[in-house]
Every structure is written in C-alpha cells, then in structure tokens.
Structure 1
Amino acid sequence: MIKLIRVDHRLLHGQVIFSWSKFASIERIIVIDTATANDDFKKMSLKLAKPEDIKLNVFSVDAAIAKMEQIKALKDNVMLIFAQVSELAKFVEAYGHVDEINYGGIPDRPNAKRYSNAVFLTPEEVDLTKKMCDQGIDIVMQQVPSSGKEFLNKIL
C-alpha cells in the first residue's frame, strides 16, 4: 500500500530515512528516477543509505509504470520518492488518482520561483503541478512530519 509519495531531489537522506519512514511505518522505499536507475554508483549509494529493515527498489519512471500493477499489489507500507516533478507527473498520470503528494525538496534553478524554503518550481513544473491539483490531488509542502502542511494548491 502506498503510504507516501514525495518529491525530493536528494532522494534518501536523514529526513526521509528517519522522520518520514518512521512516521508512516514504511517497509519499502521505491525511488523512481531515471537518472539514478541508470547509474550503478547512485544505486549502490542508496542501498548503503537505507535502514537495514527497509526494502529498496530503484526504477526509471518507464520501468515503474511497467510494474504498476505489482506496485499497487504490494502489501508493504510503501513510500515513493521522485527526484523530479516531470517524472512524478508522468507516473501519476499512468497510476490514476492519488490523494496527496508531498513536495519536500526541489532545488532552485534558473527560471524557478520560490514557493517555500525548499521548494522552487519552474514554469513547466508549475503547469504539471496545477494539472495534478486539478485532478483533486492535494500537493503539500512539508519538510518533516512534525512541521505544518502548506498546501501548494492554495498558492498556485
């Protein structure tokens, strides 16, 4: 069962490993990032970073879409982590409705606008995010579970 969907360019780091995985009783983390899936060193680093009791999968967005039914059928409490809004949007379009997506860390880049301390969106990412909002998905900006949720839906 998918318990949490998060966009965070850092993928696995302290907030994800300790705060979010404990908060949502996560048993499996699925990283969906094409660049990472095609980089053996990055995959090895993620495997070393994860807690011993949590399973890890790393897929490209296309591979994750191809495994959609298997992902939906998982009995584990699952966290999906995306590095990019574009791959998240592609996955969500194929997956169907989800209730909520957490925007945790999206870096500042040229043409990006700041929406929180850790979330900067380009015009393309704003358009993709608005489309997900229009589908009834709550997009929340929240670094750790103990901080308040800021609804991006209300800002865009």
Structure 2
Amino acid sequence: MPNILLTRIDNRLIHGQVGVTWSSHLGANLVLVANDKVAEDSIRQNLMDMVMPETVETRYFTLEKTINIIDKASARQKIFIVVETPQDLLVLIKGGVPIKKVNIGNMHYAEGKKQISSTVSVSKEDIETFKELDNLGVELDLRRVPDEKGENIIDLL
C-alpha cells in the first residue's frame, strides 16, 4: 500500500504553497504530479522543480502511469499527489489509487463557473464530480494553506 499523505487539487500544480508550505507541513519526501500534459513537458517540470526544497523529490506521471505504478511505491516514500482537476482525481480513484483525503486548494474562475471560495470556482461538471467523490467516501477538504480551517466542499456547492 503506497504511503499517500494527501492529494491536492490545484490547477497551478506545483508552486510555492505546494512546494514549500504543504510538502513541509505533511512531511512529504515525494511530490507526484499526476497530469497528462505536464508528464510530457520538461520545461514546465523544470519550472516547477525550481520551487521545491532539495529534500523533496518530484515525479511527473500521466494519470495512467500513476494508476499503473503507484502500488510499486516504497514504504519510505511519503507521497503528496497533486492533480489539476477533480476529474483527474476521479480517474485516479476509479483506477485503484487509494486516495481517501483530498485538499481542494485552487480552481481558477472562468466563464460558466460559480465562485464558492476566494480560490475555488466550480463548473456544473466539477459539482457532479465532487458529489461522486463524496459518494465514494473521499474526504473533500477545501483550504488554501494548512493552518486555515478546512471546509467540506460539499457544504458549499
């Protein structure tokens, strides 16, 4: 069983909050970005690696590779998974990745989305996906940084 400390939805993927604040708060030694586009984009990977402490490794896998390889993780790996969307998260969970707790950190506003917090806006598809995740028993904690009080996103939809 992989040692997954937390999974975060953040459309920015790795940035200062993820690379420093969250990974140190969790005690993670591996940040795994599960994203099909970034897995093939070494420039974006290099930019994201710039904000990471030297003590934390990064991996950039497609969703499929994450599903296929996560069970091979070493027990010493303290894994913090970052995905871009709730739909990506659902793919991982349906693929067998044992994710029980999710932090919803940042989902940008766009036309057709409803803003539910200062950093999270959701579409109708996002709402349906969050409800499905909730029905699967996934804990859905909305908060930007670890020292904030979290809220169950279902209560805000």
Is the shorter-chain TM-score for this pair beyond 0.5, marking a shared fold?
Answer: yes
- TM-score, with structure 2 as normaliser: 0.92
Secondary structure of the structure 1 residue equivalent to 2:50:
helix
Structure 1 residue runs of 5 or longer lacking an equivalent are: none
Deviation of residue 97 (structure 1)?
Answer: 5.0
Q: Which of the residues 34, 37, 40 maps onto 2:36?
A: 34
Cα deviation digits, residues 20-50 of structure 1 (max 9, x gap): 1111111110001111112121112122221
What are structure 2's unaligned runs of at least 5 residues?
none
CA 1:97–1:55 in structure 2 vs 1: closer, same or farther (change >3 Å)? closer
**Residues 73-152 of structure 1 correspond to what in structure 2 (within 5 A)?**
73-95=74-96, 98-152=99-153
Distance 1:96 1:50, change over 3 A: closer
Alpha-carbon distance between aligned partners in 1 of 2:156 and 2:126, rounded to the nearest angstrom: 14
Query: How far apart, in 1, do the equivalents of 2:75 and 2:36 lie?
Result: 21
Following TM superposition, by how much is the alpha carbon of 1:155 offset from its aligned partner in structure 2, in angstroms?
2.8
Aligned-pair CA distance for 1:8 = 0.5
Q: Please report how far the alpha carbon of residue 68 of structure 1 lies from its aligned counterpart in structure 2 after TM superposition.
A: 2.8
* Corresponding residue of 1:3: 5
The percentage of counterpart residues that share the same residue type is: 21
- C-alpha change, 1:41 and 1:107, in structure 2 (3 Å) is same
Aligned length: 155
Distance of aligned partners of 1:97 and 1:30 in 2 relative to their CA distance in 1, 3 Å threshold: closer
Q: Aligned residue for 1:16?
A: 18
| Deviations 1:78-108 (CA, angstroms, capped at 9, x unpaired) | 1000012211110011125533110000111
Matched residue of 2:53: which SS?
coil
Normalised by the size of structure 1, how large is the TM-score?
0.92
Q: Which runs of 4+ in 1 moved over 4 A?
A: none
Question: What do the CA deviations read for 1:118-155 (whole angstroms, capped 9, x no partner)?
Answer: 11111111111110001111111110111000111223
Matches of 2:7 and 2:51 in 1, distance apart? Answer: 19
Q: CA RMSD in A?
A: 1.4
Secondary structure at 1:148 match in 2? coil
Query: Could you tell me how far apart the structure 2 residues matched to 1:69 and 1:102 are?
Result: 21
Contact 2:20 2:51 in 1 (8 A): no
SS in 2 for 1:91: helix
